[in-house]
């Protein structure tokens, strides 16, 4: 199809971006414009030796960066905050070109690193400051908790939010004094490469933030083996592999994995609010959000009312390939992923599910477009019933009691996100607290939880280990050093002292400390 590429995305601009990626054997991957399937640029592919050199460069730069006072490190991100906002439209163009998402989702994605910077610019001085604590003997000993950077953090970013995850997950690690080696997905390497360029324009030392590219099985093992910590966002299957290798290397990792997220609508929920929320929950980013809704539980007494309103609203959505704000929904990320989504729908229909609307590819719009799809009658013997589809497909289910709805919502190996809707907020919160999920949104789908940067966000069960955001979103990138000081040699018996006498005094001292409240 014919579509004019954004003016900012020139061939020279793209070649300059990918020149940062090392490839000693000259291997490349064809990075295409999703809307049209046309070649954008040949993306270099990194060899094992390239990855090793990237870590060596990052490690050398990290030593100097960590020695820089925190205040000086944070000044870089104050400048970057302004620069990211100033260049948001260019970043949006790149995100759309490489991922095919609609412009609203692309521009919103550019806001995430800015929000993360803003939060940790305020929190970092307190989180990274030494904390002096009492030692075992009052007045004569001290113990100070010091936060030291891990070293070089390996980040493996997904294709669905390449800029937000590739850059946002790096910010707190860099502030804490670490270096980064990032592996973006081949399909969506352009926007994170541009984000690194902006960080360097803001003053980040060159060499500190490295990028390597390649298919996961080719690049991942070497990256993990050389990293001091790994941050991964992606599928549960890949997360298990990464977690196992990190464990063998005795390094920490944070894994945000898949979800089969439920939405419970209570009887007193507002119809218009539910429909508006469900549209974004099921079809935002073309359903390619780890926290998006794939299972919707509706009260039997209002099932038909909610169903009909939701179907009508879905059929009003405008699909399209456009670099303006016209379309409500864009493309899936690739023809291969579109076929995966179609296979889930076809499997459900073959096993007895009903398509209420959608259910078909749209090759007239582009090679990876798929209609927003609502299914009814989905059961657990269907792929769409238990496996993450990760596309614009949602299944509707009836329930008779709230207890039944909660039981159905919890009947999954996943536990990343959930949504509860009701006019009585206190009751909705009580329902939410009974759902086994790392994030629960009341009268919202996901934005309230994910955008609350002061609170950790992560999954339970098979949806992950650890979390991003909150204090732990920075502290996970540090090691705790216990700097203990003994001011006078009073630990242990004195030379020639009767040991029974020493033990008696030691135990008596411990009793006195307990009574005095000294720990």
H or E element, residue 207? none
Cβ pair 408, 401 in contact under 8 A: no
DSSP-derived secondary structure letter, 25: T
What string of DSSP letters covers 90-124? HHHHHHHHHH---HHHHHHHHHHHHHHHHHHHHHH
Residue with token string 């979800």: 259
Rounded to the nearest 10°, the torsion over CA 386, 389, 393, 395 is 0
Helices (H) and strands (E) in the chain, counts: 18, 18
Phi and psi torsions of 420, nearest 5°: -125, 135
Angstrom distances, CA of residue 478 to CA of 66, 73, 121, 208, 406: 11, 16, 17, 17, 38
Give me the residues paired with residue 408 across strands: none
Count other C-beta atoms under 10 Å from residue 484's C-beta.
11
Count other C-beta atoms under 10 Å from residue 162's C-beta.
26
What does DSSP say about strands 393-399 and 354-357: parallel, antiparallel, or unpaired? unpaired
Taking each helix axis as running N to C, give the angle between helix 88-99 and helix 103-127, from 0 to 180 degrees, rounded to the nearest 10.
120
Count other C-beta atoms under 10 Å from residue 400's C-beta.
10
Which listed residue (256, 294, 371, 388) is catalytic? 256
Q: Is 201 a catalytic residue?
A: no
Angstrom distances, CA of residue 380 to CA of 208, 227, 249, 436, 442: 47, 39, 37, 19, 26
What string of DSSP letters covers 134-154? E-SSTTTEEEEEEEEE-SEEE
Active-site residue set: 256
């Amino acid at each position: 199809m014919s579509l004019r590429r954004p003016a900012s995305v020139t061939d020279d601009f793209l070649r300059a971006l990918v020149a940062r990626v090392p490839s000693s054997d000259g291997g490349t991957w064809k990075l295409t414009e999703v809307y049209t399937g046309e070649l954008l640029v040949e993306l270099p592919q990194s060899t094992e030796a390239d990855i090793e050199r990237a870590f060596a460069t990052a490690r050398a730069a990290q030593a100097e960066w960590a020695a820089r006072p925190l205040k000086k490190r944070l000044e870089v991100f104050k400048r970057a905050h302004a620069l990211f906002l100033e260049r948001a439209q260019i970043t949006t163009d790149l995100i759309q070109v490489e991922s095919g998402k609609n412009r609203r989702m692309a521009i919103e994605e550019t806001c995430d690193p800015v929000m993360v910077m803003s939060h940790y610019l305020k929190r970092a001085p307190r989180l990274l400051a030494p904390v002096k604590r009492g030692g075992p003997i009052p007045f004569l000993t001290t113990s100070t908790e010091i936060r030291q950077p891990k070293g070089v953090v390996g980040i493996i970013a997904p294709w669905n939010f390449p800029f937000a995850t590739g850059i946002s997950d790096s910010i707190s690690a860099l502030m804490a004094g670490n270096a980064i080696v990032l592996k973006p997905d081949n399909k969506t390497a352009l926007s994170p490469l541009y984000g690194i360029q902006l960080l360097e324009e803001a003053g980040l030392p060159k060499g500190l933030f490295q990028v390597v590219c390649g298919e996961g099985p080719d690049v991942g093992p070497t990256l993990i083996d050389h990293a001091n910590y790994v941050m991964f966002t992606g599928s549960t299957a890949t997360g298990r592999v990464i977690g196992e290798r990190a464990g063998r290397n005795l390094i920490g990792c944070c894994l945000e994995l898949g979800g089969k997220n439920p939405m419970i609508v209570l009887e007193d929920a507002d119809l218009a609010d539910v429909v508006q929320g469900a549209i974004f929950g099921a079809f935002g980013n073309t359903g390619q959000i780890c926290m998006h809704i794939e299972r919707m539980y509706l009260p039997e007494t209002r099932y038909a009312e909610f169903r009909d309103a939701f179907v009508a609203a879905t059929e009003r959505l405008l699909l399209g390939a456009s670099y303006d704000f016209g379309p409500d929904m864009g493309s899936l990320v690739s023809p291969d992923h579109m076929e995966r989504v179609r296979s889930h729908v076809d499997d459900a229909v073959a096993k007895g599910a009903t398509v209420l609307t959608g259910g078909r590819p749209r090759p007239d719009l582009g090679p990876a477009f798929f209609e927003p799809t609502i299914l009814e009658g989905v059961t657990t013997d269907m792929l769409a019933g238990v496996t993450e589809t990760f596309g614009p497909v949602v299944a509707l289910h009836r329930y008779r009691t709230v207890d039944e709805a909660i039981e159905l919502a919890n009947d999954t190996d996943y536990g990343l996100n959930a949504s509860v809707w009701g006019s009585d907020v206190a009751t909705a919160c009580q329902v939410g607290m009974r759902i086994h999920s790392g994030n629960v949104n009341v009268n919202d789908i996901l934005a309230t939880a994910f955008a609350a940067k002061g609170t950790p966000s992560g999954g339970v069960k098979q949806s992950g280990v650890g979390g991003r955001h909150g204090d732990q979103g920075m502290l996970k990138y540090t090691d705790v050093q216990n700097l203990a000081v003994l001011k006078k040699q009073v630990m242990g018996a004195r030379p020639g002292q009767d040991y029974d006498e020493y033990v008696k005094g030691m135990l008596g001292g411990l009793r006195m400390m307990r009574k005095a409240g000294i720990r």
